[in-house]
Amino acid sequence: MKPNARAKLLDAAFGTIRERGYAATSVDELCARAGVTKGAFFHHFKSKDALAAAAADHWSQTTASLFASAPYHDHADPLARILAYIDFRKDLVRGEIAEFTCLVGTMVQEAYETAPDIRGACWRSISGHAQTLEEDIQAAIEKYHVNGVTAESLALYTQATIQGAFILAKAKNDAGVAIDMIDHLKRYVELLFTCKGREGRRP
Amino acid sequence: MKPNARAKLLDAAFGTIRERGYAATSVDELCARAGVTKGAFFHHFKSKDALAAAAADHWSQTTASLFASAPYHDHADPLARILAYIDFRKDLVRGEIAEFTCLVGTMVQEAYETAPDIRGACWRSISGHAQTLEEDIQAAIEKYHVNGVTAESLALYTQATIQGAFILAKAKNDAGVAIDMIDHLKRYVELLFTCKGREGRRP
DNA sequence: TTATAAATACCGACCGGTTGGTATGTTGTC
DNA sequence: GACAACATACCAACCGGTCGGTATTTATAA
């Protein structure tokens, strides 16, 4: 049905770009890893940048289905769902660094100035994923009477923290530091919703 | 005293790498921006990777002197110093994105797998800067009787959050979102030190 | 059902420009 | 005259991208 080479190239891009970055990834290397020829590459993508933008979009779809089927939605309390989401993100941090870090977070640092299409695709990926958290956050804000924070801003903050955790893991060459950072994020959410003289933990 | 071309190349590296990333920055472009020739480049640096590692070390020194002379140290209370540090980081977020984002945070994403020397220099830069916060954090932890958090871990968390804020700013092409993220960091620190039935706000 | 036209998927040699790096000067200073 | 600090010319490898061609699938109509 769908062309095979295209899917293999997008899959190869996930791996190679997360390992070496976008600019350092050559079209030839991508083709070799995907087991296709250069002709196939430029048949499916009009340029290397177009492949990158397509990879970012494909990343959005891949992560969307991963998180949609994840178990953290199965809590009655919205705050419990948020905390379970954070735990789930922590559980994903295992194996090689290139296997759990974020494709679009890596790419956007190289492309934000020079490639607007890639930048836009990366932002759609990050903000689109953040939006899937907004409903739960909004419900928790109302249930626990938190003020001074918007659901959109807090949702983005979870993503910022996780992206930063990945940078530290890469710099230290140690996944453990990323887990520590996500623990801080969880503590922040707990404090935010259960402290500071707010009305009730269970309304 | 110190050779001129070397300093000009390191300065050019700060700008170019933060704009386009490391791999996309060519030696020729660096030389053109610095106003020196290729011969001068390879006289001072044995390879492009060596320049990158030297730039990361120079970044450490530059930021160290910037923060050493910053006014946030002038508070009697250690928590006030930490919060003033966060405010100072927020104040630095202005102008073009490439002017306030972090060189080593950008570079390490491209180099962590393939260039151990660059990765090490980037980690020294990040963790070294975090260490300058540890003394204040440790004092605040003791003064406000906070437990469950180490000074080292919280210091690194401030850096992770700020790095993540930069990624979001690049993706959205908007510095404002970075400021929002740093506001969350400040709120976390405030909650951490003043909530949850801890003994006293002022001992 | 089958002949055929048209579109799609893919191949791999090739191209001009760019890349990081080198080899060999030249110049100024102690 | 020794040595560091540059400058100039050059190179082989690699880069993204093109192009003429072929294999395979799909659409159409007799």
With beta carbons less than 8 A apart as the criterion, state whether B22 and B107 touch.
Answer: yes
Burial of A46 (0-12, 13-18, 19+ CB in 10 A): exposed
Select from A112, A156, A171 the Cβ nearest to the Cβ of B108.
A171
Which residue of B17, B118, B170 is the best one to mutate when testing the A interface, meaning the one whose CB has the most A CBs within 10 A?
B170
User: Where in chain A are the domains?
Assistant: 56-194
Between CA B22 and CA B25 the distance in angstroms is 5
pLDDT of B196 higher than 80: no
Helix, strand or coil, per DSSP, at residue A69: coil
Select from B23, B112, B192 the Cβ nearest to the Cβ of A173.
B112
What are the helix (H) ranges across chain A? 4-20, 27-34, 38-44, 48-68, 78-91, 97-100, 103-111, 116-143, 151-172, 175-194
Distance B104 CA to C1 C1' (A): 68
Take residue A188 and report the two structure tokens written for it. Answer: 């922040």
| Spatial CB neighbours of A174, under 8 Å, sequence gap ≥ 6 | none
pLDDT at A199: 38
How is domain B4-194 classified at the CATH fold level? Tetracycline Repressor; domain 2 (1.10.357)
pLDDT per position in chain A (203 positions), as tens? 456 889 999 999 999 999 999 999 999 999 999 999 999 999 999 999 999 999 999 999 999 999 999 999 999 999 999 999 999 999 999 999 999 999 999 999 999 999 999 999 999 999 999 999 999 999 999 999 999 999 999 999 999 999 999 999 999 999 999 999 999 999 999 999 998 544 333 33
Between CA B155 and CA B134 the distance in angstroms is 6
pLDDT digits (tens, 9 = 90+) for B131-161: 999 999 999 999 999 999 999 999 999 999 9
Q: How many angstroms away from the CA of A118 is the closest CA of chain B?
A: 9
Interchain CB contact of B171 with A (< 8 Å) = yes
Across the A:B interface, residue pairs with CB atoms under 8 Å apart total: 173
Cα dist from A106 to A9, A168, B47, B111, B166, whole Å = 18, 13, 24, 11, 12
With beta carbons less than 8 A apart as the criterion, state whether A156 and A130 touch.
Answer: yes
pLDDT of B201 higher than 50: no
- Averaged confidence pLDDT in chain B: 94
pLDDT at A5: 86
pLDDT of B176 higher than 60: yes
Cross-chain residue pair B164–A168, CB shorter than 8 Å: no
pLDDT of B202 higher than 80: no
CATH 1.10.357.10 fits A56-194, yes or no: yes
pLDDT at A203: 33
With beta carbons less than 8 A apart as the criterion, state whether B86 and B158 touch.
Answer: yes
